Structures are given as structure tokens and as C-alpha cells.
Amino acid sequence: MAKFNKKTVEDLDVNGKRVLVRCDFNVPLKEGVITDDTRIRAALPTIQYLINNGARVILCSHLGKPKGTAKPELSLAPVAVRLSELLGKDVCFAADDEVVGPNAKAAVEAMKDGDVVLLQNTRYRAEEEKNAENFSEELGSLADLFVNDAFGTAHRAHCSTVGVTKFVKESANGYLMAKEVEFLGNAVENPVRPFVCILGGAKVADKLAVIENLLNKADTLIIGGGMAYTFLKAKGYEIGTSLLDESKVDYCKEMLARAEENGVKLLLPVDTVVTKAFPEPIDAVVETEVYDSDKIPADKMGMDIGPKTRELFADAIKNAKTVVWNGPMGVFENPQLAEGTKAVARALAEADCTSIIGGGDSAAAVNSLGFADRITHISTGGGASLEFLEGKELPGITAMTDKD
């Protein structure tokens, strides 16, 4: 676990210091109104700690994909308003299209201990995603210390996640980042067993490295969602018009053999909910049937795991002590095709285990189904948590200052 031996916000002497905090304020907006403030609330413990300990808090984040140009609809101005409400104090918004401009410099210059300033969308600058030294230096010029609390972008080496660390005295993880590292790091490196991993979602290609890494770590690997059909094809089954990654069939055969060699139980769907075609729109009413997974009709498409599979997967979860889940079991956006994902979410909520959901669609599913408060940890970063599960080191974590 040496690679996680990084300073946290509590290891820094922040009193009277200017502290730049990278947050994940990439919130959904509709006509300039924030429709879900979960990510803003997730950043509050770190921000509040810094305020309480006399720091001068300078916040930065990206929002959407402005691709290096100032787009008013992707301004962080609404975030400043919501933050002011949640913190119960004024958050000064530095509205510079160049991010570090005259407004930001003046606002930081005028700060007193405990004040909060929010910079404009870091991706208004084309240099941000290129980790260019000039923008990293500009960000660093505003601060004495840097805190990264944006796990969702920890797998990206950008100016506001990595580059800036060269231009400040010390860098540390915020509370949210430290929590992600603790849960995901322990789950992968030192799980309480039995350790069960559940992978779903559409494509095998998205999870190649994850599957390989977890076959060396997990006791049971459950595969559902669209990616399961390529595995079923690898077993020689008829999968009808279900999603298939033809180029990965041999890879799936290798993984099935590897699981057997490693003594890992690899569970695939034993029955499948099928339709004639993909629902259009996605939540349209469809006619469904259930077939055993080796008997899917040639003209039908697998859309969700069937009732026998729900029971099979739930039994594996019931006996686990650590469970990591990434990816839904079917087209969960359609109420008729959400039962498999619901069953897994319910089994996780009821299990006596450490349950970790790796962001993305799984997190959305658990939130929409009302099980979020019964899950041990829901990751805030889909792509970052996937790379963590692959066993990769994340640049946004490795760039932090090591503990002594």
C-alpha cells in the first residue's frame, strides 16, 4: 500500500495560508440551474475543515467540455451561488474567462483567513487538459498549498490536478479523495474475503484490464450487462442479436480458462430477458420474454439478466465480505429492463459486507432505486475507479506529497 502513503489535508499547516483546492463541481445544469448538487455537497467536509482552520480557500473545477473556449452556459457562477447557500457564507466568484485573470488576482489579494473564492471553469483554458506548464504556474501563483479532492479526474494529468503541484510548497488529498483511496485501495489490495466483483455495462473492451486484474484478486467474478453476451458466445451459445464484440470472443475464452486456473468462480447469466429490438426511445414499453442463456432465439436481443440469474448473483453477494460493483446488469433506464440491476442493488443493500460501487451507471442506478444510503461507499468517479480497479496508479494521487 506504499503508493497510497500520501499527505491528507490534516497533514498541512493551513492557518493563514492560501490553499488551492481542486474540487469536482461538474454538476448537471438545466437552463443555468443546478439539478443535482451531490458533488458540491461531497466537497463540503474539506472546504469546511479549511475554513475552520483559518485557510484562505481558493476553489477550482471543470464543468462540462468547453474545449478551451469560454462558454457562458458552462460557467461555474451557479456553483458559487449554491456553495454560498450550503456554507452559510459568501463565496466570491472570480469571473475571468482566462481563469487566473484580474478578478481572480484581486479576489485572492483581498482574502482574509476563512474566506472562499471560486475560480472560473478550468477547461475554459485549452492548456488545462494538456497539463501545460504556463497554466499550471498561473494556478500555483495564487496559492501556497494545493489540495486535490476531485477523484473523478484523478486519472487525468491536467494542470489543475497534477501540473500545479510543481508550483506550490506541498500538496495533499482532501477528505473525499482520501476516502476513495481508502475504500478502493483496500478493496483491491487487501480485501476481507470472500471478495466478489460484479462487472456489467455494455462493452467487454471497456473492462479488459479490470477483468484481468480482478482474476488475480477476486474469489468470485460476476459478469452481467451487455458484455456478458460476448462471454456467452465464447462458450459456444447462440446469443441472437444481442450485443457482441466479435473481436473479443477469443479474449473471453482466455479469461474463462484463466478463471478456472486461478480457482476464481466466474458467474455468467443463466437466463436472459429478451426483446425483439432495442427500445426506442430507451424507456419505451417493450414486449419481453425470458429464455435460458444457451437458448436465446436467433432473432431476439438480450436486455437484462433473468430471474434465475438474479437469484444466482444475489446468493454470491449474500456470502461475500467485500463486494465491488461497476456497471448495470441490463438497460436499467427502461423500467421493464431494470429488474436485474435492482436485484443486484437490493442484494448489496441487504448483505453484511463492505459494498463499494465504482461510480458511473451503477451509482446512478443505486441512487435512482433508493438504495444509496445502504451502500458502504459509492465512488464519485467512474473512469477513475475503473482505472483504480485495473491496478493503475492515478496521476492525481501520485502527484501529492508523500507522508514523511
Query: pLDDT tens, 38-69?
Result: 889 999 999 999 999 999 999 999 999 999 99
203 in catalytic set:
yes
CATH class of 191-389: alpha beta
Starting at the edge strand that comes first in sequence, how are the strands of the sheet with 301-305 ordered? 289-292, 271-275, 301-305
- Which pLDDT does position 381 carry in this prediction? 77
- Which pLDDT does position 379 carry in this prediction? 85
Inform me whether the pLDDT recorded for 353 exceeds 80. yes
CB 76 within 8 A of CB 61: yes
Percent over 70 (pLDDT), the chain: 99
Neighbours of 88 (CB within 10 A): 6
In the chain, domain spans: 2-175, 191-389
**How many Å separate Cα 232 from the centre of its chain?**
28
Cβ burial, residue 333 (10 Å; 0-12/13-18/19+): middle
Percent over 90 (pLDDT), the chain: 79
d(CA 396, CA 151): 8
Sign of the Cα torsion 320, 326, 327, 328 reads: positive
Inform me whether the pLDDT recorded for 380 exceeds 80. no
Same fold, 2-175 and 191-389: yes
Which of residues 12 and 327 earns the better pLDDT score?
A: 12
Helix intervals (H) in 241-286:
249-262
- Mean of per-residue pLDDT scores for the chain: 93
Which of residues 362 and 232 earns the better pLDDT score?
A: 232
- Indicate the pLDDT class of residue 359, thresholds 50, 70 and 90: low
The active-site residue, picked from 18, 39, 248, 310, is 39
CATH architecture of 2-175: 3-Layer(aba) Sandwich (3.40)
Q: Residue 57's beta-bridge partner residues? A: 19, 116
CB 132 within 8 A of CB 163: yes
- Indicate the pLDDT class of residue 236, thresholds 50, 70 and 90: very high
d(CA 195, CA 313): 13
Inform me whether the pLDDT recorded for 328 exceeds 80. yes
Q: Residue 361 is placed in which grid cell?
A: 451507471
- Cis preceding-peptide flag for 102 (omega within 30 of 0): no
- Which pLDDT does position 82 carry in this prediction? 97
Q: Residue 94's beta-bridge partner residues? A: 119
- Which pLDDT does position 272 carry in this prediction? 98
Q: Which of 29-38, 306-315, 338-347, 370-379 has the highest mean pLDDT?
A: 306-315
- Tell me the per-residue pLDDT of 193-224, one tens digit each, with 9 for 90 and over: 999 999 998 878 878 888 999 999 999 999 99
- Which pLDDT does position 64 carry in this prediction? 95
- Which pLDDT does position 103 carry in this prediction? 97
Name the DSSP letter for residue 314.
Answer: H
The active-site residue, picked from 224, 302, 358, 360, is 360
360 in catalytic set:
yes
- Which pLDDT does position 387 carry in this prediction? 83
The active-site residue, picked from 130, 203, 235, 321, is 203
263 in catalytic set:
no
- Which pLDDT does position 1 carry in this prediction? 35
CB 195 within 8 A of CB 322: yes
7 in catalytic set:
no
